[in-house]
Amino acid sequence: MGDASLTTELGRVLVTGGSGFVGANLVTTLLDRGLEVRSFDRAPSPLSAHPRLETVEGDITDPEVVARAVAGIDTVIHTAAIIDLMGGASVTEEYRRRSFAVNVTGTENLVRAAQAAGVQRFVYTASNRFSNKDGLLAALGRGTTRRRGPSAPAS
Q: What is the mean pLDDT of residues 4-14?
A: 75
Q: Into which CATH architecture does domain 23-124 fall?
A: 3-Layer(aba) Sandwich (3.40)
The answer to whether residue 15 scores a pLDDT higher than 70 is: yes
Higher per-residue confidence, 81 vs 142? 81
What DSSP element (H or E) covers 20? none
Q: What is the mean pLDDT of residues 45-53?
A: 91
Residue burial 84-112, b: 16+ Cβ < 10 Å; e: rest: eeeeeeeeeeeeeeebeebbeebbebbbb
Mean of pLDDT over the chain: 81
Gap between the Cα atoms of 38 and 15, Å rounded: 6
Phi, psi of 144 (to 5 degrees): -105, 150
Helix (H, G, I), strand (E, B) or coil at 14: strand
Q: Please tell me whether the overall predicted TM-score, pTM, comes out greater than 0.95 for this model.
A: no
Give the confidence band of 127 by pLDDT, cuts at 50, 70, 90.
Answer: low
In single-letter form, the type of residue at position 133 comes to K
Give the confidence band of 105 by pLDDT, cuts at 50, 70, 90.
Answer: very high
